Chain A
Amino acid sequence: MIPAAFDYHAPRTLDEALALLAEHGDDAKVLSGGQSLLPLMKLRLGGAGHLVDIGRIPGLEYIREEGGVVRIGGRTREAELERSALIHAKLPLLADTAAVIADPLVRNLATVGGNLAHGDPANDHPAAMLALRAEVVAAGPKGTRTIPIDDFFVGLFTTALDAGEILTEIRIPLPPPGSGGAYEKLERKVGDFATAAAAVQVTLGVGGTVEKAGIALTNAGPTPVRAAEAERYLVGKQPSDEVIAEAARLAGAAAAPSADRRGKVEYKREMARVLTARALRRAIQRAKEH
């Protein structure tokens, strides 16, 4: 319940924060919403000698649309995403996702940047961002760089961020007309991590065939899983019940979950399939309405 002692820093600018990270190297961690990091530290796991709180740096919390890209500040809180009219209108997949992260109280503090940077495949945003083909912007001592989401999740609790980098922004290409997305999460109760979850983003062309498909799975492996084969299968096809079922089957086959109290491997794989089918149906419905 009580963390080990550490030093706390509250820099006022990004440069100050980066300097602190550079100074303390492996012994420093970024504190964003703290809703993943602090629980770990209270169990005396995953802590560091120095916490660099980026909560006092202005200009890291925003949701805006600019030049065909939705840009979300890394420190934007889940509750903001959940309530954002822009997100509901343009990226319903993200609205769905934000609404099922932990519980409403945690969402008042938890940040989308933290949800990604923590590198936990059980977090919900990673799969959604994979399905959306997002990009992550990282600020570091040598400047800013953009990391495609497919390169971002490297391993269990490991991302492509260097120790001295801070995730400052997420960029999502604005889906074209005829697009829809949905997130389906099976959890044992509100607040739990996913037993299985599927993020789907589709674009339907004129005539209703699938032009683009993004499908990714939460808590289905050491990193979030992009169901690439299922995506490829869908492109160019009419989303009939059989097509949806086959795409879902392929997505389930891509899942490599571990057994735990939420279920054995076979059950979780099957749930990935079932939830992909449900997310596909909802995403397609939204795409038709858009």
Chain B
Amino acid sequence: MAKHTIKVKVQGAERQAEVESRLLLVHFLREVLGMTGTHIGCDTTHCGACTVLLDGQPVKSCTVLAVQADGREVMTVEGLEQDGKLHPIQEGFWQEHGLQCGFCTPGMLMTGYALLERNADPSEAEIRQAISGNLCRCTGYVNIVKAVQHAAAAAKQRRTTAA
């Protein structure tokens, strides 16, 4: 079966590789690029541990072929920190104890990040709805909601201070 050369921008940096058609995007990230921040938690597209951004939208990277990402932009959890500075969503999770074992966390962070890009001041209901494709077994979601709210408030504060 043919192999394909793909060029994917990951965190803005172009990455090129030759891949099988059937290679899942999550395996491309983890195994080919060695970026193990994105995790695999299931095999039926339910858990969302593998969530990354594809052209700015949070998607389950276990249900995308690497070849489908050719010529497109991917952002993973490794791209949140910029110049040694944590993104507000990361700060929020840390401050509010929004993680315990950390396994669902990269997916939650990416979904939370994408939500705040689209909706800067989400309500609790909106947050719960936005993360309803991401399963967590440890936290019971209460502090994840608080983490996203914390990030929203911090980002708002940043904007107010900057203005």
List the interface of chain A (C-beta within 8 A of B): 1-8, 10, 31, 34-35, 38-39, 41-43, 51, 53, 55, 79, 102-106, 108-109, 190-191
Contact = CB atoms under 8 A, between A and B. Distances in A.
A31 B21 CA distance: 12
B58 A108 contact: yes
A191 B43 contact: no
A237 B91 CA distance: 59
Interchain residue pairs A-B with the least CB separation, the first 5: A103-B133, A8-B21, A105-B133, A1-B43, A108-B57
12 contacts: A2-B22, A5-B20, A6-B21, A7-B21, A8-B67, A10-B70, A41-B22, A53-B67, A55-B68, A105-B111, A105-B134, A106-B60
Interface of B: 1-2, 4, 20-22, 24, 40, 43-46, 48, 51, 54, 57-60, 62-65, 67-68, 70, 111, 129-130, 132-134
Contact of B51 (A43, A53, A105, A190): A105
Contacts of B132: 103-104, 190-191
Contacts of B58: 104-105, 108
Given A10-B67, A108-B59, 17 more contacts: A5-B1, A8-B4, A34-B65, A34-B68, A38-B45, A38-B64, A39-B63, A42-B24, A42-B44, A42-B63, A51-B21, A105-B111, A105-B133, A105-B134, A109-B57, A190-B132, A191-B46
Contacts of B68: 31, 34, 53, 55
Nearest to A77: B57
Contacts of B22: 2-6, 8, 41
Contacts of A105: 48, 51, 58-60, 111, 133-134
Nearest to B1: A5
Contacts of B59: 105, 108-109
A42 B67 contact: no
Contacts of A8: 2, 4, 21-22, 65, 67
Nearest to B72: A55
A102 B45 CA distance: 10
A74 to B, nearest CB: 17
Contacts of A109: 54, 57, 59-60, 63-64
A127 to B, nearest CB: 22
B1 A7 contact: yes
A38 B63 contact: yes
B70 A38 contact: no
Contacts of A106: 45, 60, 63, 133
Contacts of B62: 42
A103 B46 CA distance: 9
A42 B54 CA distance: 20
Contact of A39 (B45, B67, B134): B45
Contacts of A55: 68
A105 B108 CA distance: 11
B60 to A, nearest CB: 5
Contacts of A51: 21, 65
B132 to A, nearest CB: 4
A6 B1 contact: yes
B61 to A, nearest CB: 10
A258 B62 CA distance: 30
Given A39-B44, A42-B43, A191-B46, A79 B65 contact: no
A191 B21 contact: no
Contacts of B21: 5-8, 51
A206 B24 CA distance: 56
B37 to A, nearest CB: 17
B33 to A, nearest CB: 18
A31 B67 CA distance: 12
A6 B2 CA distance: 8
Contacts of A10: 67, 70
Contact of A34 (B46, B64, B70): B64
B91 to A, nearest CB: 23
A6 B23 CA distance: 10
Given A5-B22, A6-B1, A34-B68, A79 B44 contact: no
